[in-house]
């Protein structure tokens, strides 16, 4: 990429290419600068450092996941919406395991908007169960723990037994939706 077309968005795109090819741990300013064909200090015109780049990459990943989840749940409610959300999450993690690993799990100001989009999608689905306020937050945490835990284990190759992962994930979805029905409303 020529120097003239470098921007914060372009730096993030190059960072994602690096992650896709070499994994989350390969994300360095030096690697991105090399891919851009510039010296590492040139990146500081577009990002303040590696920490900010990681946040921007994470925000882009969350936005992509929110786009996929939003499309999946559109027109659905309750169990169908939760199932669609969970399947979209898993599909993203399976298609982009290195990106998924690069997504920061703790809230950061630079990724807050993207995180809010994901949160808004699931909170909307949970309203179908009558869950609002703190009850919806508790259920959202349970759902996130379930999908994230499964995604990390699956993309890391940690499920070694021969039983079908699809059947296991379907069971997880049924457990989460049953929990949503049983959760006390706010």
Whether the CB-CB separation of 32 and 38 falls below 8 Å is answered with no
Q: Crossing angle, helix 50-73 and helix 8-22, to 10 degrees?
A: 80
Q: What integer pLDDT is reported at residue 4 of this predicted model?
A: 55
Can you give the pTM of this predicted structure?
A: 0.93
The yes-or-no verdict on residue 17 having pLDDT over 70 is: yes
Q: Crossing angle, helix 78-95 and helix 165-182, to 10 degrees?
A: 140
Q: What integer pLDDT is reported at residue 3 of this predicted model?
A: 56
Buried (b) or exposed (e) across 74-86, using 16+ Cβ within 10 A?
Answer: eeeebbebbbbbb
pLDDT in tens, 118-176: 999 999 999 999 999 999 999 999 999 999 999 999 999 999 999 999 999 999 999 99
Q: Rounded to an integer, what distance in angstroms lies between the CA atom of residue 7 and that of residue 104?
A: 22
Q: What integer pLDDT is reported at residue 1 of this predicted model?
A: 43
The yes-or-no verdict on residue 2 having pLDDT over 60 is: no
Q: What integer pLDDT is reported at residue 94 of this predicted model?
A: 98
Q: Which of 71, 120, 133, 67 shows the shortest CA–CA distance to 96? A: 67
pLDDT in tens, 26-63: 999 999 999 999 999 999 999 999 999 999 999 999 99
Copy the structure tokens of residue 161.
Answer: 């037994």
Helices (H), 8-105: 8-22, 29-36, 50-73, 78-95, 97-102
What single DSSP character describes residue 184?
P
């Amino acid at each position: 990429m020529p120097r003239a077309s470098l921007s914060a968005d372009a730096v993030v795109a190059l960072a994602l290419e690096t992650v896709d090819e070499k994994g989350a741990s390969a994300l360095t300013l030096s690697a991105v600068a090399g891919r851009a064909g510039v010296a590492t200090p040139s990146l500081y015109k577009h990002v303040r450092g590696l920490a900010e780049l990681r946040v921007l990459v994470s925000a882009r990943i969350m936005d992509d996941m929110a786009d996929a989840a939003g499309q999946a749940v559109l027109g659905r409610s309750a169990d169908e919406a939760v199932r669609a959300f969970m399947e979209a999450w898993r599909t993203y993690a399976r298609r982009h395991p290195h990106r998924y690993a690069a997504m920061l799990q703790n809230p950061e100001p630079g990724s807050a908007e993207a995180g809010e989009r994901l949160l808004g999608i699931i909170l909307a689905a949970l309203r179908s169960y009558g869950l609002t306020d703190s009850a919806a937050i508790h259920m959202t945490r349970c759902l996130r723990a379930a999908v994230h835990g499964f995604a990390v284990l699956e993309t890391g190759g940690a499920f070694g037994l021969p039983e079908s992962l699809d059947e296991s994930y379907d069971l997880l979805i049924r457990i989460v939706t049953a929990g949503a029905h049983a959760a006390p409303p706010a």
